[in-house]
Structures are given as C-alpha cells and as structure tokens.
C-alpha cells in the first residue's frame, strides 16, 4: 500500500493568536479585516460565543462584503442560537450554494425541532460533497434512533457505491440487519472474533524497551494542553503535532496495519469491507480518560481500519477483577433505540504496549475507569484513497 502524508495543521497557541488579533483590531479599528481576524482567532480557539458576536457585528455592518456566513452559522449553533444560524446559512446560500452551508442549515432546523425539514438540506449536502461524512451521519443517526430498521436498511442500500463503502453506512446497515433478524448477514459485517486483532508491538529502534517507549510517549502527549470535550473526564485531540515518539509509534502501527490487511481473506474481511485501498493516509489522535469518562458508542466515519494503542493504564484498571477501563467493541444500543445487536460485544482490557485493530465500522466505547489516574491511548485510523480517486 502507498502511504500518503496526512495534512497536519500547524501547532497554534490560541491565546497568543487572540492577543495579537486583539491588538491589531484595537490599533486599526477602521480596518475591518482585523476585526474579522479576531473573530477567526476566537473561532479557531473554539470560543464560539465571542466568535459569533464578532462575526455578527461585521455581518450587520456590511452584509454584501461579509464572507464568513458558514463560520457565523456554526458559531451560532454552538451557542444554541439556531435562528441566527439559520439566517446566516441562508444568507450564505443566497451568494453561493455549498454542501457545508446546506449542512449547517440542516443542523439549525434540527436544533429548532424541525428534524423532518432538515432532511432536504442534509440530502443536498450529501449530494454536493466532497466531505460527505457530516451529512451522511446526520441522515443515518436519526433513522437508527427512530427504531425503523427497514427504512434504515433501505436508505443504506439506496446509497451509491462510494457512500455504501463508508464506515457509517456499513455500521448502520449491520445494525438494521440485526434488528430485522437477518443475523447471518449482520454477523458477516461485524464478526468480533475474527475481525478484531489484539497484539503487542515491539519497541521502535532507539528505545530500550516498551516501558521507556511508553514513558516517552506519555511525556510527549502530556506536554501539550488537554483538548477537553463536553465530558470533563475525556480529552480527545486529533490535531496534535507529531513528535519523535509519536512518529515512531505511527511507523510501528503502519507495519501492523499492513500485516492485518495482508490477512484480508484469511480473516474473512471480504465478507464485510471492500478490498484494501491502493493508497491511504493515517489519522492519529490522543485520548485521555479518567473517572466517569467514556466516549459514548461511536464508529470512525473516515476510517477503513481503526486501531488503538495503549500508552498508560491506571493501576486500578490493570488489577481490577471487573471490566473498568476496557474497550467495549460491538454494542450500538445507544444509537439504535435500545437494540442489542446479534453479534454481542467483545471487551478488551487495556495493556500498556498492546495494540487492537478492527474495521472502522465497528461501534465501540470505553467503560469508565472510576479513578482519577489517567488512561492514555492513541487511536489511529487508516483513511483510504480509492483507485477511483475518491476518499472514504
């Protein structure tokens, strides 16, 4: 397989960027480009309330010159102002149609309780692309939660080939088949015994042993600010710069991914997913979980093959005689109106220095650790670029 270098965003100190933007906007108030720059800096830092206020001022001042309608709509959504988000998306659509603006308009309608009205915008966003993961998720998830598996399956089967091979469509199609009692087909798509590989990796060159390697990884990961989610016990960061230890881990995991895919027919993956792509990138994240934190049941929409490497496991998790801190593979009842899938679940109790590999369409979660010690892992996805030039 040909590996393509991922586009890694530069490391940005958002506080410094905002302070500089504030200085420029204050020094040159007549230059409204600096006001937009301040709004952009706040948006990048996820200070959506401040970004929304700054964008709104500029939009009201000169709506014909304003170009940040998508950002204003998204910031308004994050600050629970769906009417403003709707107006911003519609203003942007009057100037030029785009999948992103249709997606945001759909989210605004859904936030207003008009889920059925949002569907047309999500369908338009899906048709326009090129990033279809957002609209596909927006269309699939409510279908699954509604408890109508026949409609969910019909939707998945009606997608074009490009979308059918996406992890979202595969995962939800499997769930629909399970709900309809078509268990043989469902278990072909998700086989937790055959498709999941759990193995140790060897320390990369330059590291005395796995303990030294994991210590270097932990120091590299904890040296950057935590990227907290809406759950205060969970930090997930997919935009972290890759240092020496993480680069070494990426190389090792690429090797294990290639070995896994060399067993495509042996593992029975030909029953579930398309043959391995000609080229791929790797998406690397950092996950820190403690106390009552969990990821909620999810799958990885842009992935083909997903992995998780364990850097640090709390002592209480390692020695517990229960499943705390375990990776939970398979359950999707949170997404399917309480349905317990026919393929069951598989629990992986984390071990430092071990790697788990599984197809990206498998739903998974983490059982809370119930300790303030940090559980540190590195999720990595193989993101395909197919022979037809289309991304996953």
| CATH (domain of 203) | 2.60.120.620
Q: Which of 195, 159, 192, 188 is nearest to 174 (CA)?
A: 188
Distances (CA, A) of 97 to 60, 69, 73, 87, 105: 21, 12, 14, 14, 11
Output helix, strand, coil percentages for the chain, rounded to the nearest 5: 45, 15, 40
Instruction: Indicate whether 390 belongs to any domain.
Output: no
Q: Are residues 185 and 219 in the same domain?
A: no
Residue 295 lies in a domain: yes
15 and 135 co-located in one domain? yes
Q: Which of 171, 189, 207 is the last residue of a domain?
A: 189
Residues 168 and 209 in one domain: no
Helix (H, G, I), strand (E, B) or coil at 119: helix
φ and ψ at residue 19, rounded to 5 degrees:
-60, -40
Q: Is residue 20 part of a domain?
A: yes
Tell whether 130 and 267 lie within a shared domain: no
**Strand-pair category, 2-3 with 279-284:** parallel
Decide which of 172, 189, 206 is a domain's last residue: 189
> Cα separation of 303 and 140, whole Å?
17
For residues 103 and 70, what is the distance between their CA atoms, to the nearest angstrom?
A: 10
- pLDDT value for 7: 59
209 with 257, same domain: the answer is yes
Secondary structure of residue 95 in the 3-state scheme:
helix
Residue 166 lies in a domain: yes
Q: How many domains does the chain have?
A: 2
Which of 189, 205, 240 is the last residue before a domain boundary? 189
Residues 219 and 334 in one domain: yes
- Do 159 and 206 belong together in one domain? no
Residue ranges in the chain whose pLDDT is less than 50: 391-392
The CATH number given to whatever domain includes residue 49 is: 1.25.40.1040
Q: How many CB atoms lie within 10 A of CB 134?
A: 18
The separation between CA 200 and the C-alpha centre of its own chain, rounded to angstroms, equals 25
Question: What pLDDT, on a 0 to 100 scale, did the predictor assign at position 46?
Answer: 86
Q: Is residue 26 part of a domain?
A: yes
Structure confidence at residue 39 (pLDDT):
95
Q: Nearest to residue 359, comparing CAs of 190, 188, 162, 187?
A: 190
Question: Cβ distance 344 to 329 under 8 Å?
Answer: no
Question: Does residue 296 share a domain with residue 163?
Answer: no
Residue 386 has a pLDDT of: 75
Residues 14 and 150 in one domain: yes
Supply the pLDDT for residue 59: 96
**Within a domain: residue 310?**
yes
SS3 348: strand
Q: Is 325 within 8 Å of 313 (Cβ atoms)?
A: yes
Q: Is 139 inside a domain boundary?
A: yes
Structure tokens at 99: 């999948």
Same domain assignment for residues 38 and 130: yes
Residue 276, SS3 per DSSP: coil
Its domain, for residue 304, covers 197-385
pLDDT of 6 reads 66
Same domain, 180 and 216: no
Within a domain: 391 = no
Query: Residue 62: its pLDDT value, please?
Result: 93
pLDDT score recorded for residue 71: 97
- Specify the pLDDT at position 349: 97
Alpha helices in the chain (DSSP H): 14-27, 32-44, 48-61, 69-78, 82-95, 99-111, 115-128, 133-145, 149-158, 161-164, 167-179, 183-189, 210-222, 244-261, 315-319
> Quick one: 234 and 376 in the same domain?
yes
Pairing verdict, β 354-359 and 305-312: antiparallel
């Amino acid at each position: 397989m040909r590996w393509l270098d991922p586009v890694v965003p530069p490391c940005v100190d958002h506080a410094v960027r905002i302070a500089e933007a504030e200085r420029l906007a204050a020094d040159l108030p007549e230059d409204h480009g600096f006001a937009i720059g301040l709004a952009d800096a706040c948006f990048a830092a996820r200070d959506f309330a401040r970004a929304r206020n700054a964008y709104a001022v500029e939009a009201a001042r000169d709506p014909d010159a304003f170009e940040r309608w998508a950002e204003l709509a998204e910031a308004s959504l994050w600050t629970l102002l769906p009417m403003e988000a709707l107006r911003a998306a519609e203003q942007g659509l009057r100037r030029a149609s785009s999948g992103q603006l249709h997606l945001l308009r759909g989210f605004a309608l859904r936030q207003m309780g008009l889920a059925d009205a949002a569907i047309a915008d999500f369908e338009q966003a899906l048709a326009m692309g090129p990033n279809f993961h957002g609209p596909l998720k927006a269309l699939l998830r409510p279908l699954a939660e509604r408890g109508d598996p026949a409609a969910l399956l019909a939707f998945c089967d009606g997608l074009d080939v490009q979308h059918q091979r996406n992890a979202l469509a595969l995962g939800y199609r499997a769930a629909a088949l399970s709900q309809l009692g078509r268990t043989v087909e469902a278990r072909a798509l998700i086989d937790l015994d055959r498709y999941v590989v759990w193995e140790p990796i060897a320390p990369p060159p330059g590291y005395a042993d796995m303990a030294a390697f994991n210590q270097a990884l932990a120091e590299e990961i904890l040296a950057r600010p935590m990227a907290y989610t809406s759950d205060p016990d969970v930090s997930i960061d997919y935009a972290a710069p890759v240092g020496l230890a993480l680069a070494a881990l990426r190389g090792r995991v690429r090797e294990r991914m290639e070995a896994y895919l060399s067993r495509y027919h042996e593992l029975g993956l030909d029953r579930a997913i398309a043959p391995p792509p000609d080229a791929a990138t790797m998406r690397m994240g950092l996950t820190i979980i403690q106390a009552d934190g969990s990821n909620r049941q999810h799958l990885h929409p842009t992935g083909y093959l997903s992995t998780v490497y364990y850097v640090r496991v709390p002592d209480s998790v390692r020695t517990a005689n229960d499943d705390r801190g375990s990776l939970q593979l398979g359950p999707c009842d949170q997404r399917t109106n309480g349905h317990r899938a026919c393929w069951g679940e598989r629990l992986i109790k984390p071990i430092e220095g071990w790697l788990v590999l599984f197809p990206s369409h498998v739903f998974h979660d983490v059982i809370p650790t119930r300790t303030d010690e940090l559980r540190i892992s590195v999720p990595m996805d193989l993101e395909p670029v197919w022979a037809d030039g289309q991304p996953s």
